[in-house]
Amino acid sequence: MSETFRAILVSRDEEKKQSVDIVDLGEADLMEGDVTVKVEATTVNYKDGLAITGKSPVVRHWPMVPGVDLAGTVTKSESGEFKPGDKVLLNGWGVGETHWGAYAGMARLKADWLIPLPREFTPLEVMGIGTAGYTAMLCVMALERHGVTPGDGPVVVTGANGGVGSVAIAILAKLGYHVIASTGRPNEADFLKELGAAEIIDRAELSEPGRPLGKERWAAGVDAVGSHTLANVLAQTKYGGAVAACGLAQGFDLPATVMPFILRGVALLGVDSVMAPKARRLEAWSRLVTDLDKGKLAAITTTIGFDDIVETATAITEGKVRGRVAVDMIGA
Ligand code: NDP
């Protein structure tokens, strides 16, 4: 008889009322895949918060084991790419949305979704980065592909105290950028300065409806917030600059005008982590090895256990989580 393990299961009744339970599962319960992984670490992203609270339709298969990120060890493999004992990392690919995910002691996954755990990181460190941090890296890479360099001027980072924002600040500062951090939590200014922010601005400056074009304040932006904030970031970007947009913490609308695009040649760069091709993921993770200071990663990361996931998921949707959360899955 195979051993059981604990899992978080999100279900819906006939009236589509959502419930969240801690259940015991066995390997036979897991969904199809060619690689079985013992989950050693995971994280709580904003999207995981939405899945567990049901605040947005993240879950598209019921019932669901949420959790979009995991790191662990392969226990069984029908794929030539991985063998038992290999340390692996997974971010996205619809895991935790349409395929049972990370909030369980074991996961069965497709080999195509997995990449080797970078040797330089432990499972908990890599989950301290997680999808949020890897997306921050993708945003910086998008700005670089556009030709942005530290000499061009400041870079604004919105949602600065969040997962994407805090990792983006640490990376950009290490690369030599002058970082302007936009936050609704000015009491965390010291934390943001330690990460490398040169200036802190109140997010209220950006979150209300603004003018089509404003003073040129920054050469580039990393935006995890969307809505009026993204519109105002675009309106205050210097001639020829670029903004990488990856999030919707304020809203998924974009109440902007075309003025920054047609009068200043500003570029809006969309960033998706979930379906990003493998080559770009591998590049992002190898860049994280070199461009994210481990001391800063430790400062950003709070480590919790399996039993704390549900409470943390609610807190992240209320903007109450600072930086990143890594989950030690021992005991799941
Ligand atoms: P967090 O909750 O950790 O951070 C979001 C931050 O946004 C908060 O900490 C807060 O920062 C700010 N914020 C929250 N609510 C508002 C609001 N109403 N108005 C303005 N600012 C607000 O989330 P993550 O960093 O994990 O994710 C950020 C966004 O990026 C989410 O929308 C997420 O879905 C998206 N995302 C997208 C990915 C992709 O593939 N495109 C991948 C990963 C994330 P502060 O307190 O400093 O103001």
Substitution site in 45, 97, 185, 222 for ligand 1 pocket (most atoms within 8 Å of beta carbon): 45
Minimum CA distance residue for ligand 1 atom 23? 46
Is 281 part of a structural domain of the chain?
A: no
Residues with Cβ within 6 A of ligand 1? Answer: 45-47, 131-132, 135, 159-165, 183-185, 203, 207, 224-225, 229, 246-250, 271-274, 316, 319, 321
CATH code assigned at 153: 3.40.50.720
pLDDT of amino acid 142? 98
Is 313 part of a structural domain of the chain?
A: yes
Q: Are 170 and 132 in contact (CB under 8 A)?
A: no
* Count of structural domains within the chain: 2
Q: Which atom of ligand 1 is nearest to the CA of 50?
A: 34
Q: Token pair for residue 195?
A: 């990460």
Is 227 part of a structural domain of the chain?
A: yes
Q: Structural domain of residue 150, as residue ranges?
A: 131-270
Minimum CA distance residue for ligand 1 atom 31? 247
pLDDT of amino acid 2? 59
137 and 111 in a single domain? The answer is: no
CATH code assigned at 79: 3.90.180.10
Is 212 part of a structural domain of the chain?
A: yes
pLDDT of amino acid 319? 87
Cα distances (angstroms) measured from residue 55 to each of 18, 21, 23, 47, 321 = 10, 17, 22, 10, 17
Q: Are 8 and 65 in contact (CB under 8 A)?
A: yes
**CA 224 / ligand 1 centre spacing (Å):** 5
Strands 69-77 and 35-43, sheet pairing: antiparallel
Of 224, 252, 270, at which residue does a domain stop?
Answer: 270
pLDDT > 90: percent of the chain: 95
Q: pLDDT (tens digit, 9 = 90+) per residue, 27-85? A: 999 999 999 999 999 999 999 999 999 998 899 999 999 999 999 999 999 999 999 99
pLDDT of amino acid 103? 98
177 and 246 in a single domain? The answer is: yes
Q: pLDDT (tens digit, 9 = 90+) per residue, 289-298? A: 999 999 999 9
- Beta strands, E only, 59-161: 69-77, 87-91, 106-109, 115-116, 155-157
pLDDT > 70: percent of the chain: 99
Cis peptide before 63 (omega within 30 of 0): yes
pLDDT of amino acid 236? 98
Alpha carbon dihedral 213, 170, 183, 194, in 10-degree steps, equals -130
> Which residue, chain included where needed, has tokens 């670089």?
144
Is 122 part of a structural domain of the chain?
A: no
Global confidence as pTM: 0.95
Of 231, 255, 270, at which residue does a domain stop?
Answer: 270
